[in-house]
Amino acid sequence: MLDAIAFYTLAALILAFAIAVITARNPVHSVVFLVINFLAVAIVYIVLGAEFLAMIQVLVYAGGIVVLYLFVVMLVNLKRGPEAHQDPRRQTGAGVGLAVAVLAELTAILAYTGRNPLPAVVPAASARGPGGNTEQLGWLLYTTYLIPFEVASMLLLVAMIGAIVLARKVD
């Protein structure tokens, strides 16, 4: 009961802030709402008993990535907002297509899980060993999901190198 109240309150908050993110006129306000949003998501994780995930959510998203967003938002001249809407390279068609694809995918997943319900989520309490679920998460990542994990890190590495190559000054 208490969990349900907490969850729905948080969910409402998350949605409200998500809407605020996209409707805020000032991009810096947008970023601030995004941070609050992430923090609320972290609390949801805590309610679910996934403290490790919650802390990583705060550390990586709220504390790291969004700081970089803020950095960019502050550095780029935002007084010329309207021009962006006249960008000739703007591909509305492709955008709509992608949005439809994502929507279809989500619907498919929902329909699938509706028919074949997942095994009930492992009760949070059982995952709380002495080391919490951090240890189990580590085990899983480095055993069962080793290959996806490594592929993801390779992807990030490639992205990083790509960014460095792009940013390097051409002498």
Partner 1 sequence: MTDLFVVPLLQIVVVLNAVLVAVTYMVLLERKIIAWVQSRLGPMRVGPHGILQPIADALKLLLKEDITPIRADRWIFTLAPIISLVPALIAFAVIPFGGEATLFGHRVPLYIANVNVGLLYIVSITSIGVYGIILAGYSSNSKYPLLASLRASAQLISYEVAVTLMLVSVIVTTRTLSLVGIVEGQMRQHIWYVFIQPVAAVVLFIGGLAETNRTPFDLAEAEQELTGGFHTEYSGMRFAMFFLAEYANMIVVSAVMTTLFFGGWLSPFPNVAAAHFLWYIPGWIWFLLKTFVLLYVFIWIRATLPRYRYDQLMRLGWKVLIPVALVNLVVSAIVRVFL
Partner 2 sequence: MALFDTDELVLNMGPQHPSTHGVLRVVLRLDGERVVGSDVVIGYLHRGIEKLCEHRDYLQIVLLTDRMDYVSAATSNLGYCETVEKLMQIEVPPRARYIRTILAELQRIASHNLWLGTHAMDIGAMTVFLYNFRERELVLDLFEDYCGARLTYNAVRIGGLPLDIPAGWDQKVRAYCDLFESKIPEYEELLTHNRIWKERTQKIGVISAEDAIALGLSGPLLRGSGVPRDVRKDEPYAAYADFDFDVPIGTLGDTYDRYLVRVEEFRQSLRIIRQAIDGLPEGPILGKVPRLIKPPAGETYHAIESPKGEIGFFIASDGKSITPYRFRVRPPSFCNLQALPRLIKGHLVADVVALIGSIDIVVGEVDR
Where along the sequence are the contacts to partner 1 (CB under 8 A)? 26, 28-29, 32, 35, 39, 51-52, 55-56, 58-59, 62-64, 67-68, 70-71, 74-75, 128, 130-132, 134
The option from partner 1, partner 2, none interacting with 131 (CB < 5 to 8 A, set by class) reads partner 1
Between 4 and 166, whose beta carbon lies closer to partner 2? Answer: 166
Check binding of 76 to partner 2 (CB under 8 A): yes
Work out how close the CB of 76 gets to partner 2 at its nearest, in angstroms, rounded to a whole number: 7
Interacting residue with partner 2 among 25, 85, 115, 169 (CB under 8 A): 169
Positive or negative, the CA dihedral 125, 128, 133, 136 is negative
- Calculate the dihedral angle through the C-alpha atoms of 22, 27, 31, 36, rounding to the nearest 10 degrees: -60
Work out how close the CB of 164 gets to partner 2 at its nearest, in angstroms, rounded to a whole number: 14
Work out how close the CB of 7 gets to partner 1 at its nearest, in angstroms, rounded to a whole number: 20
Residue 72: both structure tokens together:
């960019």
The option from partner 2, partner 1, none interacting with 77 (CB < 5 to 8 A, set by class) reads partner 2
Q: Quick check: 34 and 63 in contact, CB under 8 A? A: no
CB-side exposure of 127: number of CA atoms within 13 Å? 17
User: Rounded distance, CA 136 to CA 77, Å?
Assistant: 46
User: Rounded distance, CA 126 to CA 136, Å?
Assistant: 11
Q: Quick check: 46 and 40 in contact, CB under 8 A? A: no
The option from partner 2, partner 1, none interacting with 169 (CB < 5 to 8 A, set by class) reads partner 2
